[in-house]
Amino acid sequence: MNKMMKGSVAGATGIALLMGGFGTYALWGDSEGLGSGSVQSGTLDIVSVGNASWADVSTTKTAAAWQASDAMVPGDKVTMTRSVTMDASGKNLAVDFALTGLPASPGWSGLAVTATYGGQALTKTADNGGTPTDPSDDSYTFTHDFTNPGAIDAAKNLVVSFDFDQSVSGTAQQDQSVSLAGLNLSITQHRP
């Protein structure tokens, strides 16, 4: 046999084997699409922070504006309020809020600092070994669970209160100051 004939016979045999094999594996089959909805990630963002509004809310008088040039005396309570708008969404989202950067220079032992966000108290943690009435480098935190899915985007007030203990007497704690230049609000997700 010549080469051409051998090649033709080999090719025909291969085709026959392939066709026979194909018929052997031709089993029934079916498929269905499973597309249904989508998977979406949530959000966590401080969208905006309003300007600071200061007020004298001492209990012995009607609340009034507080000016930068005003100075506190024992028994005074002054608040700084800032509107904070946040975008937070996620079915299992829980958020730690932290207010940091309240250094005292020098330490002002008669000044108590408290804070709230949306009416919820921020718990003070003394990360610098401070006492509950010493604002020196402490942080103020609270945890909020967003139990409802969807965005939480309403503006809420962050209120920082400065309360000068009225029992301070003599010349103690005069000419003290607390710089707010490093005041910072941060939000961090944690697993509930």
Residue 28 sits at φ, ψ, to 5 deg, of -65, 155
CA dist 15 and 19 (Å) reads 6
124 and 184 in contact (C-beta within 8 Å)?
Answer: no
Q: What is the distance between the alpha carbons of residues 161 and 185, in angstroms, rounded to a whole number?
A: 15
pLDDT digits (tens, 9 = 90+) for 108-147: 778 888 888 888 777 766 554 444 444 444 555 655 655 5
The CA–CA distances, whole Å, from 153 to 44, 85, 146 equal 10, 6, 12
Domains of the chain in start order, with CATH, are 43-168+179-190 (2.60.120)
User: Residues 37-92: pLDDT tens digits?
Assistant: 888 888 888 989 999 999 999 977 777 889 888 999 999 999 999 999 888 777 77
From residue 150, how far is each of 44, 83, 89, 117, 146 by CA, in Å? Answer: 11, 21, 5, 20, 9
Decide: pTM greater than 0.85.
Answer: no
* Cis peptide, bond prior to residue 149, ω within 30 of zero: no
What percentage of the chain carries pLDDT values higher than 90?
A: 17
